[in-house]
Amino acid sequence: MINILFIHQSAELYGSDRTLLLLLTKLDKSRFHPVVVLPETGPLQAELEKQNIKVVIAPVLKLYRKMFTIKNIALFLKQVRSALKTLKELDKTYHFDIIYSNTLAVLLGMIYAKKSGKKHLWHVHEIIVHPRLIAQTFPKLLKKYANTVVCNSNATRQNLVARIPDLAGKTVVIHNGLSPRKKEFIKVDKSQLGFRERDIIITLIGRISRLKGHKLLLEMYINHLANKENIKLLFIGSPVPGQEYYLEEIEQLIHTHHLGDDVKILPFTKELDAFFEVSDIIVVPSTEAESFGLVALEAMLSHKPVIGSNHGGLTEIIADNETGFLVTPNDSKALAKAIQKLTENEKLRMEFGEKGYQRAVSEFSEERYLNQFETLFERMR
C-alpha cells in the first residue's frame, strides 16, 4: 500500500478542485491510500467524505499578494508551526510515502517534504507570467523542493522550462481527463433561463475574474455582434471572495446597455450537465493563457462546439476548425466572427460537437489520466 498525503489550496469545485476529486475518488484504493489536507470546509470536502476519504482541515500555507506585511508574515509563521504539527501527527499514523501538492499556491507540502525527507510531487495547474517576481520564484522552488513536477499541459511545462531549463528532467505532462457526463440529470429549459426556445445560447462557465474574459465577451456582444436578436449570453460562476467587484462591473455593463433580457448570470453550481445541455455554443475567451481549460473538455464531452482563446492549454484541447475555433486572444472582433460562423450554421455546430466528443473520448479519457498518475506514484515510491 502506498500512502499519499494530498494538500490542496481550496475546498471548492472549480477546475483544479474537480481534477483532484476525480483522481482521489477513482484511485485504486487496494494500492493507494489517500489522506487530504484542505484549508477550509466546503463542497470538495463533502464530496471526498462521501467516498470515505479522510479530510483534515489545516493551514496549507497559501501564497497570496497581501501576505508580505508584518502582520501577515507573523500569521504565516504561526500557521507554519501549526500545520507542521498537524502533518507530523498524521504521519505517525499513516507513514506517508509521497507528499502531493496540488497547485503552486500551497507551500506546506514543500516545507514538510523537505523537513521529513519524503518524496514530493508538485502538480502545477498554473501559467504564471506576472508578477514577474512570483513567475521567476516558483520554478526555482520546483527545482529545489520537488522530486517530480506534473504539469497539466505542454503549455504549462514550457512556461516553467523556459525559465529554468534544468526542470525538463523532472517534469512530466499529464493532461486532465474526464469521462462522458452522466446520462441522467434534471434538464433545464431555455424558458427557465428567461430565454425563448429559438434563442441561441452562448455560455461562459468559470469563475468571474480578471482573466476569464467575461468583459471581453460582453464587449463583443455590445459592439461587434451583428443580428444578435436571437443570440443570448449565459454566465455561470461566482467571483473569488473579496473580488466581488468583478461581478459588479459586469452587472453594471449589463444595466448600462439594457441587456437584462439578453444576458443572464447564475452563481456557480456543481451540477453543470443541464447547462451544457441547454447551451448551443461554449466559449472560453480567456484574456491570459489558461494552463489547461477544463470547461472546453467538458463542453466537448457534451457534444458542444467550443470557441477558445488561441493560447495556453486550450490549444491542446480544441482542434481549430474541427471541434471549434481558436481565436486571437483579447480580440473581440475575431471572437464575434467565430461566433457568427456558428450561430448562422446549425449543421456546423452539430459537426463540431460530434468531432469534439470523439476527440475528448480518445485523447483526454479518465482512464488515461488515472493510469498515468498511478504509474507515476508506483515509480516514485
Q: What's the confidence (pLDDT) of residue 358? A: 97
Residue 183 maps to a domain? no
Q: What's the confidence (pLDDT) of residue 225? A: 81
Judge if 376 and 290 occupy the same domain: no
Q: What is the pTM of this model?
A: 0.91
Ranges of the chain whose pLDDT falls below 70: 63-72, 226
Sheet holding 281-284, edge to edge: 263-266, 231-236, 200-205, 281-284, 306-309, 324-327
Angle at 134 between CA 69 and CA 244, to 5 degrees: 65
Domain count, the chain: 2
Q: What's the confidence (pLDDT) of residue 196? A: 93
Do 281 and 323 touch, CB atoms closer than 8 A? no
What residues make up the domain containing 160?
Answer: 2-177+365-380
Retrieve residue 318's grid coordinates. 480544441
286: domain CATH number is 3.40.50.2000
Judge if 356 and 371 occupy the same domain: no
Backbone angles phi, psi at 34, to 5 degrees: -95, 145
Judge if 151 and 233 occupy the same domain: no
Retrieve residue 127's grid coordinates. 501559467
Judge if 232 and 319 occupy the same domain: yes
Q: What's the confidence (pLDDT) of residue 339? A: 96
Residue 251 maps to a domain? yes
- DSSP-derived letter for residue 39 is S
Q: State pLDDT tens for residues 86-123.
A: 999 999 999 999 999 999 989 999 999 999 999 999 99
Q: State pLDDT tens for residues 148-163.
A: 999 999 999 999 999 9
Give dist(CA 365, CA 360) in Å, integer. 7
Give dist(CA 360, CA 293) in Å, integer. 13
